[in-house]
Amino acid sequence: MTDKANLRRELRRRRMAVPARQRRLAENKVARRALHFLRPGQAVAAYVAMGSELSLAALIRLALARGCSVWLPVLPSRGRCMRFADVADSRGVWRRNRYDIKEFLSTRRCLPRQLATVFLPLVGFDLQGGRLGQGGGYYDTTFAFRNQAVALRKPRMVGVAFECQRVVQVHREAHDVLLDWVITEKTSYRCVPSRHST
């Protein structure tokens, strides 16, 4: 646990050091690189950036313009299985959750299995699909069904990060849900799992 905590601290420090101008450029580059995941009529999940996370504001605008439905995570009052609210719901309201993260509340909801692609935040990643998150386990719990069927590739899990968040290897545990892709301001990575990366 100490190693993970130290790695999180270091990667957050790197992420916070990214200059504001570079952040704005990265946001637009990531949105353009995500284009081939944004197909009309598909449901995609995004997130509202917290702290120094890479913002998905440009990607969300592009997804809506291309005819996708966009869904934002809402934390449960109990447990760790998130639900997803429709960002286009005109009756929806914004609030801050217990972690002070902005959430959009809507009566229109999407089940995790109905999503085509999930764009998710991370603290660190490797090219084998390992993801170092905040440590709450919400994404791993919500999409645990992905681990129950090896052939199941839906929804597609796409990590979003700055290039400086890439590491050689993220220590994985059996319950961790792997990333299929990672998009950074530099490039898109297709993740290739390794049997020796746990």
Domains of the chain: 2-190 (3.40.50.10420)
Write down the pTM of the prediction. Answer: 0.94
Give Cα separations from 150 to 3, 57, 72, 144, 192 (angstroms).
Answer: 29, 32, 26, 11, 14
**Strands, E assignment, the chain:** 43-45, 69-74, 83-86, 93-96, 102-105, 109-110, 117-121, 124-125, 131-132, 156-160, 181-183, 188-190
> Is pLDDT above 60 for 1?
no
pLDDT band at 197 (very low <50, low <70, confident <90, very high): very low
pLDDT band at 188 (very low <50, low <70, confident <90, very high): very high
Between CA 188 and CA 173 the distance in angstroms is: 24
pLDDT of residue 151: 55
Give Cα separations from 59 to 2, 44, 46, 87, 91 (angstroms).
Answer: 34, 11, 8, 13, 22
DSSP conformation class of 147: H
Using DSSP, state whether 142 is helix, strand or coil.
helix
Q: What does the block give as tokens for 97?
A: 């959750």
pLDDT tens across 90-118, in order? Answer: 999 999 998 888 999 999 999 999 999 99
Between CA 103 and CA 180 the distance in angstroms is: 25
| Helix and strand numbers, DSSP H then E, in the chain | 5, 12
* Cβ pair 66, 43 in contact under 8 A: no
> Is pLDDT above 90 for 135?
no
pLDDT tens across 31-83, in order? Answer: 999 999 999 999 999 999 999 999 999 999 999 999 999 999 999 989 999 99
